[in-house]
């Protein structure tokens, strides 16, 4: 929660980490004006500022694409690695093993994750690496001038590409099929929902998949295209109103949020995600419900958004190993060298 602290000769809004929102920004964007990816980067900045995250405790990852350029446009002060096309997951897995105390944020595209990187995507999901994995999904390869990606809907017509004849890949279904522990879908045209889902994803202990429809205004934004602003606005069916409540704000939760039909999910860090029912009561802890709702949405042409599935009971990747209480990449020779008596025991076993 942001507070106002007086500073020398000025008044700046700072958060509990003592940082202003500017401390969470990156370089000025070079993406097209109106690109959904810019809107998502802005929500990442706001979410991290409001959550009082220290930028130096975050590491950013991406592959190749306009979407994968995004990490340059937020968190200047964080670590980052722009990997090869579709190979961000293996870089992230290695880096987060090297320091299990950093929070990972990966930004990828539908081409990067659902086309060339599909194999890598499935394996980082099943390994439950502790990071937020954002797919900025526009149905095309924006950076290389708008070819159909694997998430483009069948029948999509683009001036320079003709008609897409293939059935699309649904990233959330693929994530669920790979035993994901957090799966959400959102829309760049719904920034409030994007921000609340980002906060919930950042509090998740494990891999949080955020598939965000993020229109490419240059190559795929005609009104009838499933990844356009107009189609998204006309067909969005949110599952719930979502509110993220930080652990220390539980009193607000008690007093203000309890009215009406709500479901609460308590995250690993004690924060609570409140899901206020809209139409029907949706249970995001049921994989069956998640698959059913996505199947129903596909049949009816709805863009269903919200927290589709969450399981807070599974260990993250590094919790499955008996690691020391220090980042592995900071261990020195003295920590790593076996004691002489241990070496004697090992040698005795070998001969």
Binding stretches for ligand TPP (CB under 6 A): 64-67, 85, 109-112, 116, 136, 138, 140-144, 149, 216
The answer to whether residues 75 and 60 touch, using CB atoms and an 8 Å cutoff, is yes
2 contact, one of ligand SF4, ligand TPP, Mg ion, none, CB 5-8 Å limit per kind: none
Site membership for ligand SF4, residue 173 (CB under 6 A)? no
User: How near is the Cβ of 208 to ligand TPP at its closest, in Å?
Assistant: 19
Among the listed residues 279, 310, 305, the one whose alpha carbon sits nearest the alpha carbon of residue 189: 305
- Residue number with CB closer to ligand SF4 (39 or 181): 39
Touching ligand SF4, residues 9-38 (CB under 6 A): 31-32, 35, 37
Contacting Mg ion (CB under 5 A), which of 46, 68, 138, 243?
A: 138
User: Of 107 and 274, which CB lies nearer to Mg ion in the complex structure?
Assistant: 107
* Nearest by Cα to 273 from 284, 287, 259: 284
Residue sitting closest to ligand SF4 (CB)? 142
Nearer CB in complex with ligand TPP: 109/232: 109
**Least Å from the CB of residue 186 to Mg ion:** 16
The rounded distance, in Å, linking the Cα atoms of 351 and 339 is: 19
| Residues whose CB is less than 8 angstroms from the CB of residue 24 and which lie 6 or more positions away in sequence, other chains included | 45, 48, 49, 55, 74, 75
Burial of 163 from C-beta contacts in 10 A (0-12 / 13-18 / 19+): exposed
Q: Which does 20 bind (CB under 5 to 8 A by kind): ligand SF4, ligand TPP, Mg ion, none?
A: none
126 binds, among Mg ion, ligand TPP, ligand SF4, none (CB under 5 to 8 A by kind): none
Q: How far apart are CA 114 and CA 64, in angstroms?
A: 13
Of ligand SF4, Mg ion, ligand TPP, none, which one does residue 31 interact with (CB within 5 to 8 Å by kind)? ligand SF4
- Cα separation of 299 and 166, whole Å? 17
Q: How far is the CB of 172 from ligand SF4 (least distance, A)?
A: 20
Helix (H, G, I), strand (E, B) or coil at 249: helix
**What is the smallest separation between the CB atom of 145 and ligand SF4, expressed in angstroms?**
8
Residues 202-241 that bind ligand SF4 (CB under 6 A): 216-219
Residues numbered 137 to 156 that lie near ligand SF4 (CB under 6 A) are 138, 142-143
DSSP string, 28-96: PP-SPTT-HHHHHHHHHHHHHHHTT--GGGEEEEE-SSHHHHGGGGB-TTSEEEE-STT-HHHHHHHHH
Least gap, CB of 66 to Mg ion (angstroms): 7
**Residue 259 CB partners (closer than 8 Å, separation 6+):** none
Instruction: Choose the stretch contacting Mg ion; rule: CB under 5 A; options: 50-58, 102-110, 292-300, 307-315.
Output: 102-110
* Smallest separation (angstroms) from ligand SF4 to the CB of 174: 21
Dig out the tokens for 245 from the structure: 């409540």
Residues lying near Mg ion in the complex (CB under 5 A): 109-111, 138
């Amino acid at each position: 929660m942001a507070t106002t602290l007086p500073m020398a000769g000025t008044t700046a809004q700072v958060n509990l980490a003592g940082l202003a929102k500017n401390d969470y920004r990156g370089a000025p964007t070079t993406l097209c004006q109106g690109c959904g990816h810019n809107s998502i980067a802005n929500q990442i900045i706001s979410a991290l500022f409001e959550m009082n995250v220290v930028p130096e405790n975050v590491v950013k990852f991406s592959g190749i694409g306009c979407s994968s350029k995004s990490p340059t446009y937020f968190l200047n002060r964080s670590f980052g690695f722009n990997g090869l096309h579709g190979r961000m997951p293996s870089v992230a897995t290695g880096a987060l093993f090297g320091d299990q105390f950093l929070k990972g944020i990966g930004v990828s595209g539908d081409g990067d994750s659902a086309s060339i990187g599909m194999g890598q995507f499935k394996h980082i999901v099943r390994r439950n690496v502790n990071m937020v994995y954002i797919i900025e999904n526009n149905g095309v390869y924006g950076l290389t001038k708008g070819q159909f990606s694997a998430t483009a809907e069948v029948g999509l017509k683009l001036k320079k590409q003709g008609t897409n004849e293939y059935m699309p890949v649904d990233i959330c279904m693929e994530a669920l099929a790979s035993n994901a522990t957090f799966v959400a879908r959102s829309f760049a045209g719904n920034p409030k929902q994007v921000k609340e889902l980002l906060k919930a994803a950042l509090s998740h202990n494990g891999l949080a998949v955020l598939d965000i429809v993020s229109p490419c205004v240059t190559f795929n934004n005609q009104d009838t295209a499933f990844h356009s602003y107009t189609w998204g606005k006309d067909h969005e069916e949110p599952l719930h109103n979502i509110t993220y409540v930080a652990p220390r704000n539980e009193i607000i939760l008690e007093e203000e949020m309890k009215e009406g039909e709500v479901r609460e999910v308590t995250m690993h860090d004690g924060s609570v995600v409140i899901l206020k029912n809209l139409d029907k009561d949706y249970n995001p802890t049921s994989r069956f419900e998640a698959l059913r709702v996505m199947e129903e949405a596909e049949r009816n042409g709805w863009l269903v958004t919200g927290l589709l599935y969450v399981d807070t009971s599974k260990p993250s990747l590094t919790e499955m190993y008996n690691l020391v209480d220090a980042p592995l990449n900071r261990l020195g020779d003295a920590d790593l060298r076996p004691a002489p008596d241990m070496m004697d025991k090992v040698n005795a076993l070998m001969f």
